[in-house]
Amino acid sequence: MSNLFVFLGIVLLAHTHADHPLPYERDFPEVNFDFSVASRNAALYRLPQNVIPVEYDVYLDLYFDERTDRPYSYDGKVDIVIQAVEENVQQIVLHANVDTIHSVSLMRNNIPHPLNVANPVQIRPEYHFIIINLDEDLEVAVNYTLTIEYENEMNEGPMKRGIWRGWYIDDNGVERVYATTHFQPYNARQAFPCWDEPLFKAVFRLHISRPINYSGVFSNTGIEYIRLFENTRVQDNFFATPRMSSYLVTFLVSETFQVIAQDTTHNPPIRIIGRSNTVGMANRTLELTVKMTEFFDEYFEIPYSTLHPHLFNDHVSSPDWASAGTENWGMVSYRELYMITSPRETLMSVEHYSATLISHELAHKWFGNLITCYWWSNTWINEGFASYFGYIATNEVFGTYELDEHFNNRYLQTSLSFDSSVSTVPMNHEVNTPAEVTGHFGTISYSKAAAFLRMTVSMITKETFRKTCQYFLTDNAYEATNQTHLLNAFLKAISEDNTLSAYQHFNFTNYYNIWVNQPGYPILNVDIDHTTGDMSLSQERFFISSSATPTEQVTYPIPITYSTESSPTFGNLTPVYIMDVPNIVLTKNPGEEWVIFNNLQHGHYRVNYDERTWNLIADALYNNPNSTHYLNRAQIVDDVFALMRSGRMSYNFGFQILKFLRTEVNYHVWDPAISGYTWLRNRLRHLPEKQAEFDAFILSYLEHAIEYYGYETSSSESPTHTMTRQIILHFACQIGHEGCVRESRHRFVAYRNNQFVCAETDGSSSECVNDSTEIYSWVNIGVRRNVYVIGVKEGTDVDFEFMVNLANTTNYANDQLEMLRALGAAKDPLLLTRYLELTLTKFVRSHDKANSFTYALLGNQENANTVLQFVKNHIDEMRIAYVEDSPARPVHTCLSNLAAYLDGAGLQEYEAWLHSTQSDSAQYATAISAISSARANMQWGTTNADTVLAAARGGSTKVVMSLAMLLIMATLALVA
């Protein structure tokens, strides 16, 4: 990977309270490119379009450990039917990123087409190109067959993608091996030579030979016929796929993977596939998959069964997977964490996310697979629609999750945060190199694109949007598309339904082009004359940095909605006006009252008000909060923190507005509040006394919510209620709430002791014979995170070993991840070092290693120095175990995150070590940049600490605890 990555901040840590801040197909923290230093020859990474593939026959002979000279490798041959689409073609250029090319030939009607004798084949590894030079031109529109024979190794683990091998332990304690693929976005070329860009669609036929004992075999389509070789090997020959892009090809070859849940009433059957010891553990996943398939069949009016006669509807639960899920056509693959769920063992936040993930990947069957972005610059077309439907469509079927309301914190607020930097890019943005392509699978393509679509739906109506989707899909089926194709579908539907007729002189094309092709978003400045009712609105681009200087003024067309105290129409999402000019004046009824713009925060913009209006809003929030909608209260919290950071609002004024939080209990309001407070806490970390005072202020605001939710869950409570308890208690315990720490530690000790008793009683590690101890035979999912973390953090080596043993025996990946989070909170340097050493082993799967490393920093503030010593002593082992050269760049992530948690002395030691031993390493520049960012954060904290604390004191309506009292609380919390 190139050094074009420039970290804007430690993004993985920006949402420390969130479970899933990253897009579904990403397996790495958010970064941004400095495109100003991009290669001037970046376009050379793109293939010429003078030759196109029509059909592939891909022959793969997979070898595991039975071939001692080349274990875990494969021999390959690909026959590609190609056509020239231009005259005078004497060179064929395609992708290949394999170890060895053995032979290349070109045939026409079984007659060899001559290659250039002097220079028949060139390999350009920097571009992953194989160039075939010809002696005679190709005839246009005539079929030729290009044959390439080659060999390659399977990658170990999922991080490098391509064809890779994973492992799992079966019911008999035997380690089993499987091989599968992960090709998105540019890794099909690791498996076979191909035109590995999304626009080059073709038909694929797979022919896979394997050892006969590897009997669990699956792919995009069914098996057409089987051949047996020498009684030891089998070749599975699969039906042809639909016409599709190379990155959607997939297969799975395993020893004991099988169908673990299925619905055979559909055609094709809807199946969940997983390791043999998860049979019966995917019923909830199956229900989600079946009902969402039925929803999309009806919504798009293009049933899945009509897409192709041999296409499967399989969903693989993979113990190893680099991202959350990948939309291979016919056989979606997911990280097992999200597929094997249980009401007893799965955190509600994971179950919640799982529902959106499955819907997201199913939506890709139409948006991404049936139609595909022309090039990765248009990634937002694939991912924006899938993300939108992941929440909005799933809410239609599974309303109990309230996913339409969670859209704001999952996508809109995430986008507003990321898209406010000076270096942000548009949704449609030119990318060329592999590093640039990888970087474009991020917040802009997922979150902003989804938020843009939802904002547009509110303007054109749900019915017209549905018609847009149908036109877009039917007019471009099985083709590559770009932003113009989508715009044409919008215009066709809007014109037919006449849904924008109320907005005179509004130009939808202009609206579309600005939001798609311009970076950033506006802030709406509102100045109200309450005597006359005149509301003066102006807009400008919003930057989070107070020192940012925009190069040009962009006028964003934004839908205007608002509610007032006398007319609180928060549910009305139809714009009263679409503001496509810098300034306008709207009029409400005269009279002093609160006014809140952007109903339910459906528009992709922030809002700032004149001082009097802010005071009226603050008064309503404090004295009559239910007069405003909780999603708009959440919007205000999110906007106020951003306004304070950007210098548009003083901290004193902002904290006065936020003082209503002391009685707030709503998830959507507390989620951005925790993010905002965490950002400030992180900048006071090097000032422990000041951070302690700030923590005391936060704890005084959390007290009511903690009392409201308590530590016991109810079977009748909503998923959102359960998730709110989780984020409140985890945050409270992290910053030292005495009651939270004491209660969590008590529950952990009781659970640990009871497990030991149960093991002695009947050999079970999950249930107890004695009914009186049932409450402690497991930890309720509603409080599991804080109980696990505090149990180890405030415990001893006995607690640590207990958690290690649990992690080794659990059959649930999501529970094991919570255990890793807990082990990373160990305070004892010896125990923490042991935990970090475990991350170098199979105890932590490769896709979890970077997160597990970061848990050691998040779990306890004093851990950073221990982590530094571990890095200095084990950096070479980390590079191997964490797979440093994978697209995820996990070692870059770890070294960057470390800098954010070190104190001044630690940064000096870290920097000196980097200079003296790591100056030639791939991570050097990233780590040095992270140190500079950490020092800048410290400087910000030093400069602003007194201002923030004074504002906190002024905004608090309770007496803030003294530092001495906080220390007493912390001491009491250590008592088990």
List Cα–Cα distances, 864 to 410, 487, 677, 848, in angstroms. 29, 50, 21, 19
Q: CB–CB of 340/278 below 8 Å?
A: yes
pLDDT of res. 956: 62
pTM: 0.93
How is residue 412 annotated by DSSP?
I
Region 665-693: what's the mean pLDDT? 97
For residue 552, what pLDDT band results from cuts at 50, 70 and 90?
A: confident
pLDDT higher than 80, residue 31: no
Locate all alpha helices (DSSP H) within 581-715, ordered by sequence: 611-623, 630-645, 651-657, 667-682, 688-709
Say yes or no to pLDDT of 33 above 70. no
> Are the CB atoms for 879 and 910 separated by under 8 Å?
no
In a 10 Å sphere around its CB, with 0-12 CB exposed, 13-18 middle and 19+ buried, how is residue 841 labelled? exposed
What's the pLDDT tens digit per position in 709-732?
999 999 899 999 999 999 999 999
- How does pLDDT run across 765-803, given as a tens digit for each residue? 344 333 334 445 689 999 999 999 999 999 999 999 999
| CATH code of the domain in which 268 resides | 2.60.40.1730
Q: Is the pLDDT confidence value at 61 over 90? A: yes
Residue-wise pLDDT for 853-865, tens only, equals: 999 999 888 999 9
Stated length of the chain: 976
Residue 370 placed within a domain: no
Residue 469 is predicted with a pLDDT of: 98
Q: Given a cut of 80, is residue 373 above it in pLDDT?
A: yes
**Residue 545 located in a structural domain:** yes
What does DSSP say about strands 251-254 and 175-182: parallel, antiparallel, or unpaired? antiparallel
Helix or strand holding residue 579 (H, E): strand 577-579
Domain-embedded: residue 179: yes
Q: What is the DSSP string of 18-64?
A: -S--S-TT--S---EE-GGGS-TTGGGGSPPSSEEEEEEEEEEEEE-
Q: Is the pLDDT of residue 39 over 50?
A: no
Mean pLDDT of 408-437: 94
The verdict on 188 and 64 lying in the same domain is: yes
Same domain, yes or no: 470 and 533 = no
Report how far residue 8's alpha carbon sits from residue 367's, in angstroms, rounded to the nearest whole number.
31
Adjacency order of strands within the sheet including 331-335: 258-263, 270-274, 313-318, 331-335, 325-326
What's the CATH number where 10 sits?
1.10.390.10
CA distance 26 to 442: 7
> Does the structure show a pLDDT above 70 at 957?
no
Find the mean pLDDT for residues 820-830: 97
**Token digits for 90?**
């004497």
Above 70 in pLDDT, residue 967?
no
At residue 43, does pLDDT exceed 90?
no
Is residue 387 located within the same domain as residue 342? no
Single residue among 517, 537, 558 that ends a domain in this structure: 517
* 182, 369, 712, 746, 780 from 775: Cα distances, Å: 42, 48, 11, 12, 9
Show the tokens assigned to 87: 């005259």
CB 561 within 8 A of CB 576: yes
pLDDT tens digits along 620-649: 999 999 999 999 999 999 999 999 999 999
Which residues are registered as beta bridge partners of 254?
178, 216
Whether residue 388 is found in the same domain as residue 291: no
* Whether residue 171 is found in the same domain as residue 193: yes
Q: What is the mean pLDDT of residues 258-273?
A: 97
- Flag whether pLDDT at 763 surpasses 60: no
Task: Indicate the residue among 467, 502, 517 that finishes a domain.
Answer: 517
Residue 42: what pLDDT? 61
Longest dimension (CA), the chain: 92
Mean local confidence (pLDDT), 567-587: 97
- Quick check: 246 pLDDT over 90? yes
> How far, CA to CA in Å, does 497 sit from each of 13, 462, 959?
45, 11, 59
Query: In the prediction, which pLDDT does 861 show?
Result: 86
Residues 905 and 857 in one domain: yes
Domain with 644 in it: what CATH number? 2.60.40.1910
* 75-84 tens-digit pLDDT: 999 999 999 9
Sheet arrangement for strand 203-211: 111-112, 100-108, 144-153, 73-84, 51-63, 203-211, 233-238, 223-229
**Tokens read off for 234:** 């089998």
- Position 553 scores a pLDDT of 77
**Number of domains making up the chain:** 4
CA distance 588 to 536: 11
pLDDT reported for residue 546: 87
Q: Tell me the pLDDT tens digit for each residue of 201-229.
A: 999 999 999 999 999 999 999 999 999 98
User: Residues 6 or more apart from 230 whose CB is under 8 A from it?
Assistant: none
Same-domain status, 482 and 553: no
Residue appearing with tokens 């400045």:
525
pLDDT for residue 547: 86
Please report whether residue 112 resides in a domain. yes
Quote the percentage of the chain above a pLDDT of 90.
88
Is pLDDT at 9 greater than 50 in this prediction?
no
Contact 48, 36 (CB under 8 A): no
Are 645 and 710 within one domain? no
Range of the domain at 870: 683-973
Do 302 and 409 have their domain in common?
A: no
In a domain, 364, yes or no: no
3-state DSSP assignment of residue 78: strand
Question: Within a domain: residue 369?
Answer: no
Cβ(641)–Cβ(940) under 8 Å? no
Instruction: Write out the two tokens for 559.
Output: 């839908």
Q: Which stretch of DSSP H or E encloses residue 414?
A: helix 413-418
Q: Give the CATH number of the domain where residue 884 resides.
A: 1.25.50.20
pLDDT above 90: residue 316? yes
Residue 331 lies in a domain: yes
424-447 pLDDT, tens digit each: 999 999 999 998 999 999 999 999
**Whether 643 and 565 share a structural domain:** yes
Which tokens is 400 given?
Answer: 């109990």
Q: State whether 205 and 181 are in the same domain.
A: yes
In three-state secondary structure terms, 254 is: strand
Average pLDDT, the chain: 91
Whether 368 maps to a domain, the answer reads no
| Nearest CA-CA partner of 274 in 293, 249, 252, 296 | 252
Residue pair 426/521 in contact by the 8 Å Cβ criterion: no
Of the pLDDT bands very low, low, confident and very high (cuts 50, 70, 90), residue 93 is: very high
- Can you give the pLDDT at residue 974? 37
**Same domain, residue pair 667 and 689:** no
Measured CA to CA, the distance from residue 222 to residue 218 in angstroms comes to: 8
In degrees and rounded to multiples of 5, residue 722 shows phi and psi of -65, -45
The per-residue pLDDT for range 455-507, each reduced to its tens digit, is 999 999 999 999 999 999 999 999 999 999 999 999 999 999 999 999 999 99
Q: What pLDDT, on a 0 to 100 scale, did the predictor assign at position 37? A: 39
Q: Decide which of 358, 391, 406 is a domain's last residue.
A: 358
For position 960, what pLDDT does the model report? 38
Other CB atoms within a 10 A radius of the CB of residue 203 amount to 15
Average pLDDT of 880-890?
94
Q: Which residue has 């802030």 as its token pair?
A: 523
Task: Tell me the C-alpha distance between 765 and 788, whole Å.
Answer: 16
Contact 286, 263 (CB under 8 A): yes
Nearest-angstrom CA–CA distance, 634 and 636: 5
> What mean pLDDT comes out for the span 119-132?
96
* C-beta separation of 255 from 217 below 8 A: no
